[in-house]
Structure 1
Amino acid sequence: MSEFVELTRNGHVLEIKLNKPKVNAIDIPMSQHIAAAFAELRDDPDLRVGIITAQGDRIFSAGWDLKSLDAGDTQLDNWWDDADYGEGGFAGLTENWKLNKPVIAALNGLVIGGGFELAMACDLLIAADHVEFALPEMPLGIVPDAGALQRLPRRIPHNIAMEMFLLGRRMGAEEAARYGLVNKVVPYDQLMDAARDWAGQLAKSAPLALQTVKEVLRGIECVPLEQAFAKMRTDEMTTYRAMLKSEDAAEGVKAFVEKREPVFKGR
């Protein structure tokens, strides 16, 4: 794949590991490689779940490679149009509206700036107990506009998000869990076991049902309740429609009635 983005297949699970010393800073080529990994997850019918993590216990990612920005390799003005970060926007996931397969973030160290934005784009977050989250953009004269401004105030109380934006204060893993920003906090040496356990559980589910959850939630986000029902009934949600007519849906019901484990095929 890339010397900085390592891929491992574990049955129906694709593990993506960032390994770019010293801080997993994401420049354009690295973003493209991460995007390619998520495209592989999306397009391979044998893959059902993704895990993203990083090497070591010090840092998950410091986000955007500022040295690349300072060198002029990328531009700040209209940065999203200035270069090709790969399908899915920065880091391949922050604006990925086509990946319906769930992604688990196994956060092994500091989650900073664009690394925080990448983590928030995942569906389930498990953090090692020493992890801290921070958005240090303000002293640099910029803002975290690759997902933090858009997502963080929807995940935690508004005023706490403002502290992180304006004051750059760090948030520890336990506090993040109290706000529901992360799902689970575990000791570092249990991190990958916890992520793999959840991924294994998800991989046993009917693939179309798994993917329908993301497709529908994305389609009805911030929509009033009555309109949300209407959108599900009338909008073109192809995965949802396929799930309703799938062999797997029939198999799940049949297996329940027959008191046995279902055998899902993804169709």
Structure 2
Amino acid sequence: MTEYIQTEVRGHILIIRLNRPEARNAFNKGMAEKMESIIDDYDANPALRAAIIVAEGPTFSAGQDLIAAAKGERAVTRKRGGFGIMGQPPLKPLIAAVEGQALAGGMELTLCCDIIVASRAAVFGLSEAKRGLVAVGGGCFRLPRRIPHQVAMEMIVTAEPRPAEDMARLGYVNHLVEPGQALEAALEYAALIVRNAPLAVQASKTIAARSAAEQWTDAEAWEKQAEIVAPLRRSEDMQEGLRAFAEKRDPVWQGK
């Protein structure tokens, strides 16, 4: 199944490319296992500071391979869950570059992402209920946190998709582009990320993600974020950032 998900490295940026267009980039077990391996490697490699998920063909992803599912094969891994990512997204930033349809698990894949760039022709939807299924890849609880509750419920219970322009107005999509330009725009976002201190970016994402998922009170947040930030205060990168500012030059980050 390796050929169904391909990777490319451009500097500090990892591009993860879904490459099963003949099946609308639907996920089977092998693809989920490959995705988990890729995300594990991404988190572990200090040279990689931002990642982008993009897809070949006219569909970003139609979600779970329903033919495989009918045979009892679920695209789930032990460690990271659905599609090898949904239960435990990467610690580092992840960007979705969406062309075409992101439906069911395909939309839940974008819910794992921190930034979403979409073609004006793209559509998003949680279509599981049309097949007697439930959006158990995070759709039922993550989407209501991202957009107004009533709109999220409409998408969940009607199973009807919404165009990317609607999702942009709702704040779900960060940036709209013309068809065929999603990856280019995602690379521009990634370039902005990688110019920043990688340890600071990762700690910032951790605070934002955990505070939302665990519903920290303000009192808890002050304490827990201090624990997350403490190692950075002793890092070489923090000292480099301060020196570079004083010397009026661009910092050179080491990720340590």
TM-score under structure 2 length normalisation: 0.94
Residue matched to 2:26: 25
Distance 1:35 1:173, change over 3 A: same
Partner of 1:104 in structure 2?
95
Deviation at 1:22, TM superposition (A): 2.5
Distance across 2 between alignment mates of 1:244 and 1:200: 25
* Superposition deviation, residue 218 in structure 1: 2.6
Give the structure 1 partner of residue 181 of structure 2. Answer: 190
Residue 244 of structure 2 aligns with an amino acid whose one-letter code is A
Displacement of 1:86: 5.3
**Cα 1:212/1:169, change in 2 over 3 Å:** same
Q: Which runs of 5+ in 2 are unaligned?
A: none
Deviation beyond 4 Å, 4+ runs, structure 1 = none
Q: Distance in 2 between matches of 1:139 and 1:46?
A: 43
Match of 1:5 in 2: 5
The residue identity in structure 2 corresponding to 1:71 is K
**Partner residue in 2 for 1:143:** 134
Question: 2:149 maps to which residue?
Answer: 158
1:125 is aligned to 2:140? no
Deviation at 1:84, TM superposition (A): 5.3
The answer (yes or no) to whether the contact 1:32–1:87 under 8 Å persists in 2 is: no
Contact 1:35 1:88 in 2 (8 A): yes
SS at match of 2:33: helix
Which residue of structure 2 aligns with residue 79 of structure 1? none
1:52 aligns with 2:53: yes
Q: Which runs of 5+ in 1 are unaligned?
A: 75-82
CA RMSD of aligned residues (A): 1.6
Show the counterpart of 1:264: 253
Deviation by residue 1:236-264 (Cα, 9 ceiling, x = unmatched): x3xx3322211111111111121111111
Contact (CA 8 Å) 1:17, 1:53: kept in 2 or not? yes
Q: What TM-score, normalized by structure 1, do the two folds share?
A: 0.90
Give the AA of the match of 1:46: A
Alpha-carbon contact 1:36-1:86 (below 8 Å) kept: no
Aligned position for 2:85 = 93
User: What CA deviation, in whole Å up to 9, does each residue of 1:223-245 have, x standing for no partner?
Assistant: 12222112223x5x3xx332221
1:190-244 deviation digits (Å, cap 9, x = unpaired): 22211111111211111101100121123322212222112223x5x3xx33222
Identity of aligned residues (%): 36
2-side partners of 1:216 and 1:138: how far apart? 33
Question: Does the aligned pair in 2 maintain the 1:111–1:132 contact within 8 Å?
Answer: yes
1:31/1:86 contact within 8 Å kept: no
One-letter code of the match for 1:225? D
Query: In 2, are the aligned partners of 1:219 and 1:231 still within 8 Å (CA)?
Result: no
Q: Distance in 2 between matches of 1:246 and 1:113?
A: 41
Q: Deviations over 1:148-186 (max 9, x none)?
A: 011000111111111111111211111101111110010
User: What residue in structure 1 maps to residue 225 of structure 2?
Assistant: 232
Q: Say whether 1:42 aligns with 2:43.
A: yes
In 2, Cα distance between equivalents of 1:199 and 1:35: 21
Aligned ranges for residues 41-80 of structure 1 at < 5 Å? 41-56=42-57, 58-74=58-74
Distance in 2 (alpha carbons) for counterparts of 1:128 and 1:86: 33
Cα distance in 2 for residues equivalent to 1:175 and 1:185:
10
